[in-house]
């Protein structure tokens, strides 16, 4: 058997058993998932559902009604945000993707329906969760939106229990009161800060009014000192000028005396005998 035959048989065996290569299968799955937008969005929605379920469990175990109402409100917002992604997931479910089998492609709409059902099953504090008519109540069954108007007898309005607060209304009222209290506390802090600033501004203004006469007096003294210094400089200049003139006169007188003395000496020496 030649080397070419051996290589050919090795190739055939590798292709025959490559489906049992787990590492290669993982690489292929990762490559398909990287290109598959449905898988990415499905995983993201599933993670959001798990986080919302955790919030719902926290709300069930909480004893404080105001906290329960706040948690349930957060759960409802999360459910609404997740429901908004379902139409996009439905469009991606019917979109063909390379690298997946026909069975997986056909099962994707059912996965979307199951995901929608899981969203509806999350407890959010409202009795009797309504199913979203966008995807129906069950997989494969589409029900139109129904509007039902309940009739009430006038005598029912006179019953005291008609005006009793429900758990939802009580929770909403408590949440409203709690937020109002926090807001009032914040406004009180702001009002105290403004009052402090106003008092500080008044004190600064009063201190400036007290210091104004002192500043004016200091300005007057500075101006007076400047005027006195100017006059002193003028007098000093005059004195220096006079001293210089007197000194020059004395020097001139001494020089004249010396010259006259020299002239007299020369005259006496040179005078004929």
Reported as a single tens digit per residue, the pLDDT across 245-254 is 777 778 888 8
Residue 108 lies in a domain: yes
In a domain, 86, yes or no: yes
Full residue range of the structural domain in which residue 56 is found = 36-144
What's the pLDDT tens digit per position in 175-197? 888 888 889 889 989 999 999 99
- Predicted local distance difference test score (pLDDT) of residue 28: 53
Domain-embedded: residue 133: yes
Burial class (CB in 10 A: 0-12, 13-18, 19+), 59: buried
Q: Determine if residue 166 is left, alpha or beta; phi over 0 gives left, psi from -120 to 50 gives alpha, anything else beta.
A: beta
Q: Is residue 242 scored above 60 in pLDDT?
A: yes
pLDDT averaged over every residue in the chain: 77
Q: Is residue 45 situated within a structural domain?
A: yes
Tens digit of each residue's pLDDT (9 = 90 or more) over 60-71? 888 888 888 888
The answer to whether residue 59 sits within a structural domain is yes
In a domain, 118, yes or no: yes
3-state secondary structure of 232: helix
What is the reported pLDDT for 144?
Answer: 42
User: Phi and psi at residue 141, in whole multiples of 5°?
Assistant: -120, 120
For the chain, the domain total comes to 1
Question: By 3-state DSSP, what share of the chain in percent is helix, strand and coil, each rounded to 5?
Answer: 80, 0, 20
pLDDT at 263: 86
Instruction: Give the pLDDT of residue 150.
Output: 47
pLDDT band for 21, please (50, 70, 90 cuts).
low
Tell me, yes or no, whether 44 lies in a domain: yes
In a domain, 240, yes or no: no
């Amino acid at each position: 058997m030649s080397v070419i035959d051996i290589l050919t048989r090795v190739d055939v065996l590798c292709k025959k058993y490559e489906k049992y290569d787990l590492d290669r299968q993982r690489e292929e799955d990762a490559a398909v998932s990287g290109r598959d937008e449905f898988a990415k969005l499905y995983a993201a929605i599933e993670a959001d559902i798990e986080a919302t379920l955790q919030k719902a469990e926290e709300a069930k175990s909480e004893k404080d009604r105001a906290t329960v109402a706040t948690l349930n409100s957060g759960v409802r917002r999360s459910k609404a945000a997740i429901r908004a992604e379902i139409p996009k997931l439905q469009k991606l479910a019917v979109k063909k993707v390379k690298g997946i089998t026909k069975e997986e492609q056909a099962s994707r709409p059912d996965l979307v329906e199951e995901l929608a059902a899981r969203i509806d099953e999350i407890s959010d504090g409202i009795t009797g969760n309504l199913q979203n008519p966008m995807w129906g109540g069950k997989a494969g069954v589409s029900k139109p939106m129904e509007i039902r108007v309940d009739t009430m007898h006038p005598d029912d309005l006179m019953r005291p229990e008609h005006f009793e607060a429900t758990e939802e209304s009580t929770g909403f009222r408590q949440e409203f009161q709690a937020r109002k209290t926090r807001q009032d506390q914040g406004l009180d802090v702001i009002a105290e800060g403004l009052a402090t600033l106003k008092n500080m501004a008044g004190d600064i203004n009063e201190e400036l009014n007290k210091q104004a006469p002192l500043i004016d007096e200091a300005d007057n003294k500075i101006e007076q000192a400047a005027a006195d210094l100017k006059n002193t400089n003028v007098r000093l200049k005059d004195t220096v000028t006079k001293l210089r003139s007197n000194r020059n006169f004395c020097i001139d007188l001494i020089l004249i005396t010396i010259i006259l003395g020299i002239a007299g000496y020369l005259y006496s020496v040179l005078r004929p005998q």
